[in-house]
Amino acid sequence: MQELVEYLVSSLVEHPEAIEIVETNEEDAVTYRVKVHADDIGRIIGRQGRIAKAIRNVVSAAAYRQGKRVFVDIQS
């Protein structure tokens, strides 16, 4: 799942080398905390959060097919 998050984020940013993804496992869910370069934060969030919501929807759908719960947290 982390590879999917990394692929989606890296295809949107101008500085793919600055992407940091931290995986946090809890009892029933996995959280991915995504940090990107300061210049790319707007590209990841998008207008009114549309791109961030789309990333979350794609990852949640892939996780649902595997019977998991996944959250994506975008940090600046």
Residue 70: partners with Cβ closer than 8 Å, 6 or more residues away: 1, 29, 30, 31, 32, 59, 60, 62, 63
- Mean of per-residue pLDDT scores for the chain: 95
Q: Are the C-beta atoms of 33 and 2 separated by less than 8 Å? A: no
pTM check: above 0.75: yes
pLDDT tens digits, 16-50: 999 999 999 998 899 999 999 999 999 999 999 99
- Domains defined for the chain, CATH in brackets: 2-75 (3.30.300.20)
How much is the average pLDDT of 4-13? 96
pLDDT at 12 (0 to 100): 95
